[in-house]
Amino acid sequence: MTSTAGKTSARVTVHREIRRRIITLQLPPGHPLSENELAGELEVSRTPVRESLLLLAEEDLVRVFPKLGSFVSRVDPQRIADAQFVREAVEVASLADAVRLRTDSDVEALRDLLEQQRAAADDVNGFFELDEAFHQRLLAAGDHANAWRTVEQAKAHLDRARRLGLRTVSPVPDLIDQHAEIVDGLEARDLDAAVDALRSHLRAVFEDVERIRSESPDLFVNSAEERPIRRSITVLQ
């Protein structure tokens, strides 16, 4: 007999994996979700898959339509804006402390991440992970490393938009240059310069969203009542 702990562990693992696939666009916006297929791929029963899809629906990463089934939710610009508001508030507040508290080792660690980003500029997934590491390290420089969990939880919808931008409209070298401007301000203890660079960097996603939306409207929410068609939507890798 499977223990309660085992069932909980399976649900957590399945939820984390499906969520990862959605955020990384492995399961793109509008993609139909089959409990049977997911259970087979993840080598679990349908129960943890069903429970995970319900949890993801609460995050609005999945939408369930009676008689049609479950689908990856389309990108919602309002949710992106909300997530961006939270992220910017946390990171800018932390940056004020980072300018005051930062050490040479903080600057060196951030410079090292910039070099790693340059080396990974042609690898979208690799760059994205290094981008995450950069912002997490920036929070740590302000003695707010634990705040990353709050930021990470809030930005699932934002991350999908960021990944779409990386694949279509945001030149990675430009993003690295923006990171460098933030570090320059931090190293010089110039709060105004560091904050201006950080705000500009974080808000660039809005321009990306508008460009992508004009080219690929099927990836975005059009109406709260729209009903999907059971077909796969491809996002270029």
Tell me, yes or no, whether 63 and 81 share the same domain: no
> So what's the pLDDT on residue 169?
78
**Model pTM?**
0.85
Separation of CA 125 from chain center:
11
Tell me, yes or no, whether 103 and 115 share the same domain: yes
Tell me, yes or no, whether 61 and 84 share the same domain: no
Tell me, yes or no, whether 9 and 117 share the same domain: no
Let me know if residue 184 belongs to a domain. Answer: yes
> So what's the pLDDT on residue 153?
87
DSSP H stretches of helix in the chain: 4-23, 35-42, 46-58, 77-101, 104-119, 124-141, 148-154, 156-168, 172-187, 191-215
Domain interval for residue 197: 77-215
69 membership: H or E segment, kind and range: strand 69-72
Give the separation between CA 40 and CA 34, rounded to whole angstroms: 10
Decide the pairing of beta strands 62-65 and 69-72: antiparallel
Give the separation between CA 27 and CA 37, rounded to whole angstroms: 13
DSSP state of 65: E
Q: How many domains does the chain have?
A: 2
> So what's the pLDDT on residue 9?
84
CB 210 within 8 A of CB 169: no
> So what's the pLDDT on residue 133?
98
Pairs from 129-135 (Cβ < 8 Å, separation ≥ 24): 131/175, 131/179, 134/110, 134/179, 135/91
Let me know if residue 237 belongs to a domain. Answer: no
Supply angle C-alpha 78, 79, 82, rounded to 5: 90
> So what's the pLDDT on residue 128?
94
Tell me, yes or no, whether 102 and 202 share the same domain: yes
Tell me, yes or no, whether 56 and 156 share the same domain: no
Supply angle C-alpha 120, 161, 163, rounded to 5: 20
Let me know if residue 234 belongs to a domain. Answer: no
Tell me, yes or no, whether 43 and 142 share the same domain: no
Question: Which residues have C-beta within 8 Å of that of residue 122, sequence separation ≥ 6?
Answer: 172
Tell me, yes or no, whether 37 and 148 share the same domain: no
Tell me, yes or no, whether 46 and 99 share the same domain: no
> So what's the pLDDT on residue 170?
78
> So what's the pLDDT on residue 235?
53
Q: Specify the CATH number for the domain of residue 119.
A: 1.20.120.530
pLDDT by residue, tens only, the chain of 237 residues: 345 556 668 889 999 999 999 999 999 999 999 999 999 999 999 999 999 999 999 999 999 998 889 999 999 999 999 999 999 999 999 999 999 999 999 999 999 999 999 999 999 899 999 999 999 999 999 999 999 999 998 899 999 999 988 877 778 999 999 999 999 999 999 999 999 999 999 999 999 999 999 988 989 987 554 555 555 545 545
First to last CA, the chain: 42
DSSP state of 75: B
Of 17, 39, 73, the domain-final residue: 73
Q: Beginning with the edge strand found earlier in the chain, give each strand of the sheet holding 62-65 in spatial order.
A: 32-33, 69-72, 62-65
